[in-house]
Amino acid sequence: MGTKNFNRRQFVTAASLGSLAALSSISPAIAVESNSEANYAKKEKPTWKKIGNTIYGAKADETGPIGGGKGYTKIITSGDYTVDSLESLIDALAKAKSGQVIFIPGDKIIDMTTFIYIDKIMLKIPGGVTLASDRGHNGSAGAQITSDSLDTPGMISIEGPGVRISGIRLQGPNSKRYLDHHKRAFGPGGPGHTYYYKFPTSRGIITKFGNLEIDNCEISAFANAGVSLQKGTGSHIHHNLIHKCQYNGLGYGVSHDEASSTIEFNHFNENRHSLAGTGRPGCGYIARNNVELGISLSHNFDMHGGRDRKDNTTIAGTTMEMYNNTFLGPQRAVVIRGVPQDKCDVHHNWIPTHKDATTAIRAEEKTYATNNLYSDGKVS
């Protein structure tokens, strides 16, 4: 099978075309209703194909369905502490020790809006503690933790390694794109970043520690990032539905700074970039068996380069591997905006809306696209 190794000229040419494509593809060819989690399930299409003995695209494992929910086998249904209000949750978090579970019954809604708006309070989870609800158990949607304050610096702060967040619905305040605001800020003669950041942003889960596990959750409507991995290694983001993080200019499902993670068996939809990174040394991720359901403001999986950071390098992360993912939308699947310190391997993905790597992937040196399945059954 063919190998596509990208170079600088290809990146610049594709970047110019890609910018136009991003503006013209707001209504994608494959529409997915997204008013509720049930609509995602209704509209889900086949996510993998087998050719000979080789699997292309995302295939569920024995743990349960891609995206979690009904059929997920690691649902938590009780804990050392059971809480039903914001006050009792804060109290339990102050008392819980490593190895303990704080459980929120699936019919509860914990609204953080006033606490965040007035005092910028975050829920602080100690190292080794699990915060859980029962998404998918006997029809439960899972407890919801929500904020309606547009200025939400973070809803959950991870205070040590080994934290698990499972079965929760985490809903932020901003599911919109605000295209006009971005255009006013960065269009011809626009005032730029100072004006852009006068409008508040929001983040969901923030960590500077490693070995964070987020599973079986629904995470949505954050202007900056649903999950912000700032430092640490070994984090595992799996079997979640992450959607509607699409504020133009930011809008990340999972973002990385000087952090690395494994991201698998997730459903993504209506994000600007579902996966992103600053590209600093140490930044990287393995992405496998994820499904992009079809709606995205821009390309799906991203890594910034030195030109974005303006640090006089071309570094775009350290090591990335993206394989056995399914990309159902018209936008590019992968954009690496520089040169990885090690490499970026893109293989065994199913990208049925693109004819080959030149339209599906934009990159420079040390990104290798091999053995991906494109439209018309072409493997290259």
Please report, for the domain that includes residue 266, its CATH number. Answer: 2.160.20
pTM above threshold 0.85: yes
Q: Give the model's pLDDT for residue 376.
A: 84
Mean pLDDT of 310-323: 96
Mean pLDDT of 37-42: 57
Q: Is the pLDDT of residue 193 over 90?
A: yes
In angstroms, rounded to a whole number, what is the distance separating the alpha carbons of residues 52 and 215? 32
Q: Give the model's pLDDT for residue 7.
A: 58
Q: Give the model's pLDDT for residue 45.
A: 76
Rg (CA), the chain: 20
| Residue 378 pLDDT grade (very low, low, confident, very high; cuts 50, 70, 90) | confident
* Secondary structure of 101-160 in HEC code, one letter for each residue: EEECCCCCEEECHHHHHHHCCCEEECCCCEEECCCCHHHCCCCEEECCCCCECCCEEECC
Q: Give the model's pLDDT for residue 251.
A: 98
Q: Give the model's pLDDT for residue 377.
A: 85
Q: Give the model's pLDDT for residue 35.
A: 45
Q: Is the pLDDT of residue 33 over 70?
A: no
The residue segments making up the domain with residue 335 are 3-377
Q: Which pair of structure tokens corresponds to residue 315?
A: 């570094």
Mean pLDDT of 272-292: 98
Question: How many structural domains are present in the chain?
Answer: 1
Contact 374, 360 (CB under 8 A): yes
pLDDT, tens only, 251-261: 999 999 999 99
Mean pLDDT of 234-253: 98
pLDDT, tens only, 151-187: 999 999 999 999 999 999 999 999 999 999 999 999 9
Arithmetic mean of pLDDT over the chain: 91
Please state, as a whole number, how many other Cβ atoms lie within 10 Å of the Cβ of residue 107.
13
Mean pLDDT of 226-248: 99
